[in-house]
Structure 1
Amino acid sequence: MLFCLIFFVFLLNNFNELYMETSLHLRILLTFFMLWLANFISVENQQLIGFVGIALLGIVHGANDLTIGQHLKGGVATSWEVKLLMKYISIVLGGMVVFTLLPSYGLLLFILLSGYHFGNQHWTLAMPSSVQRFWMLFQGSYGLLVLGILFCFHEKEVQAIVETITQKSYPELWVHEITLILGVLVLGLGSFLAQQSEAFRASIGRNLFYLIVFTLIFYHAGLIWGFSMYFVLWHSVPSIQEQIRFLYGKENVHSWWSYFKSSALYWSLAVGTMAIAYWAIANDTVFKALFFSLMAAITFPHTLIIAQMKRAMQKKVGP
């Protein structure tokens, strides 16, 4: 997205001022501007711009997984790097095999992992060890609730993509009922965790506001336009900032440049594959199915790496 690039350039030139609150304000302004802009862009162009936005800033946030894995181990041995690369590729290929041979199970696993990954990104807190299982369940439920809201507003399109991936017919996906259950689960687990952690209580208002913003995005925007806005502005950009702080200690122009240099190769491979698939496949629904299948294969190892990174960061902070 052109405006995401403008946002990125603005970040690079204003690091001293653009920390938590200012960055949030910019994302909110850009979100509503893009919702307004959608009124003047055809659905086809919205989808194209959405895919470009995901390629430019969405995919790049997962292109540094190997660097993060190396940093977690604290070593730079070449043999270890090769082992990590082979393990990462094996997981990606394994995910693609699952999607090919058992697409229904692969899709379900992708949705569950994505839900946990999104919730883990929004709720980054150091919680007492006694509530870790409830905490992980809450994070997963919150992320799945976000996806559920998106699916509720675009159920027919989601259904078409699911049927294309799984090669099965689903008269009813039960997304409204499942989303309602997730909402109740988030409310119940949130009430319990609020009694256990002051930091959690302090985060409730902000994340409730985020949920309202996400709902407005998904309601007013198409499936790909809405998902790309959420994925780029509200997931990928904050994740990149967090990864930079983990890898380089602080955010500045040099650390952002180092981050993008180290991710360039893997980002280029992923974007190149997506671009070839987009121009080679004429069927819109088939491309969306392939796109989400590729995203799923990459998501499997990325979720594991980022979860380990967050645990390492939280250990430094303490409960």
Structure 2
Amino acid sequence: MTQNQHFKIFVSLFLFWFMTLVPEQIINFFCYFFILTLGIIHGSNDLQIIDSFEKESDLKKNGIKSYVSIIIIAILFFIFLKKITFYVFIFLSSYHFGEQHFNHKNFEGKYIKNMLQILHGIFLFSILFLNQKNEVTTISESLFSIIVSSNFITVLSILSGLCYAMILIYNWFLYNDYKTLLEEILNFTFFYILFKATSLIVSFSIYFIIWHSIPSIFDQIEFLYKKKSKSLVILYLKKSSLLWLISLFLVTLSFIYLKESILFNSFIFAILFIISIPHIFIINIMNSYFKNRSRKS
């Protein structure tokens, strides 16, 4: 297990323990706060990433148009094709989470990494849904007009878990990569306990911030500035400061007016949906550029 994973588990366990000492309302506020700050900030420099692409690339030439077009398409799908949008969003988010999780992991098999990336995310979502059925059903119905049945969640968790295990075991037998198998067993044991013991917003925020957003921020800094340092973290945050202030305003305003927690959760996930779709595509392209640049150097 890498030092980075040790750190993520340690911080997650610390937060898990800390939350047992603090009233639920305060915990929820901090979860919303970090989702709407660090969570949004990790996707707030997409245009800066586009601007850093090679001048001759099509995305560089049509960057803003492409980015805005994806947002408009996402909103239109969200308005007119809600049920399809739900499944597309889960699929894309699953791949995105898995892509970040295995971003620095090399596999000998040609397609193993791609399969593990999507299965990691699907299995993660399925065990989250499995342990938070009531909240997930309410939010999916209010946002996407779709009822996620218990049977669907159970079948999805079993099938995705079996497929994920089979690919990991296959990778172990073929390439003697037992470490990845053991790491994922430990990771998902921890995720299951976390998702079982906490609410949806707490479960999601710990994974989203500690396991996804913060590592993504450091990857983006390395891509944008060719290295990592404290000063570059500050520079990155400065470039995101406007969105940071807007998010602080939104979390305060929505916390005051959306007194029902389920409405507030729906509001949070609606914001994440709108900003996530273009971000997923940009980060995927960034990772491709990163790999090509690394090969050239």
Fold match (TM-score > 0.5): yes
> How far off its partner does 1:52 sit?
0.6
285-294 or 63-72, which deviates more: 285-294
Partner of 1:162: 140
Matching residue's letter, 1:106: T
User: What runs of 5+ residues in structure 2 fail to find an aligned partner?
Assistant: none
Count the aligned residue pairs. 295
Contact 1:163 1:169 in 2 (8 A): yes
Is structure 2 residue 275 aligned with structure 1 residue 298? yes
Pairwise mapping of residues 56-205 of structure 1 onto structure 2 (< 5 A)? Answer: 56-74=37-55, 83-125=62-104, 131-132=110-111, 134-169=112-147, 171-172=149-150, 174-194=152-172, 202-205=179-182
Question: Structure 1 counterpart of 2:263, which letter?
Answer: V
The answer as to 2:264 corresponding to 1:287 is yes
Q: 1:30 maps to which residue?
A: 11
Equivalent AA in structure 2 for residue 114 of structure 1: S
Counterpart of 1:256 in structure 2: which amino acid?
V
* Identity fraction in percent: 25
Counterpart among 8, 18, 26 of residue 45 in structure 1 = 26
1-side partners of 2:228 and 2:21: how far apart?
A: 36
- The amino acid of 2:89's aligned partner reads F
**Superposed displacement of residue 274, structure 1:** 4.7
Secondary structure in structure 2 of the residue aligned to 1:62: coil
**CA deviation string 1:137-163 (max 9, x = no partner):** 321111111111111111111111111
1:270 to partner: Cα distance? 4.8
**Native 8 Å contact 2:46 2:282 kept in 1:** yes
Cα contact 2:34–2:205 (8 A) shared by 1: yes
Q: Is contact 2:123–2:157 with CA below 8 Å preserved after alignment? A: yes
The answer to whether the aligner puts 1:209 opposite 2:183 as a matched pair is no
After TM superposition, the score normalised by the length of structure 2 is 0.86
Structure-1-length-normalised TM-score: 0.81
The Cα RMSD (Å) is: 2.9
- Which is further off, 266-275 or 245-254? 266-275
Contact 1:96 1:293 in 2 (8 A): no
Query: Do the aligned partners of 1:91 and 1:301 also contact (CA within 8 Å) in 2?
Result: yes
Shift of 1:202: 4.8
| Mapped partners of 1:270, 1:112: distance in 2 | 26
Q: Partners in 1 of 2:109 and 2:51 — Cα distance?
A: 29
Match of residue 14 from structure 1: none
How many angstroms apart in 2 are the aligned matches of 1:254 and 1:170?
A: 45
Tell me how far 1:115 sits from its aligned partner: 0.6
Using a 3 Å threshold, how does the CA distance of structure 1 residues 118 and 314 change in structure 2: closer, same or farther? same
Which residues of 2 match residues 219-238 of structure 1 at below 5 A?
219-238=196-215
Shift of 1:254: 1.6
Deviation at residue 287 of structure 1 after TM alignment: 2.4
1:84 and 1:267, CA in 2 relative to 1: closer, same or farther beyond 3 A? farther
SS of the residue 1:131 aligns to: coil
Equivalents in 2 of 1:171, 1:25: separation in Å?
35
Q: Tell me whether 1:243 sits opposite 2:223 in the alignment.
A: no
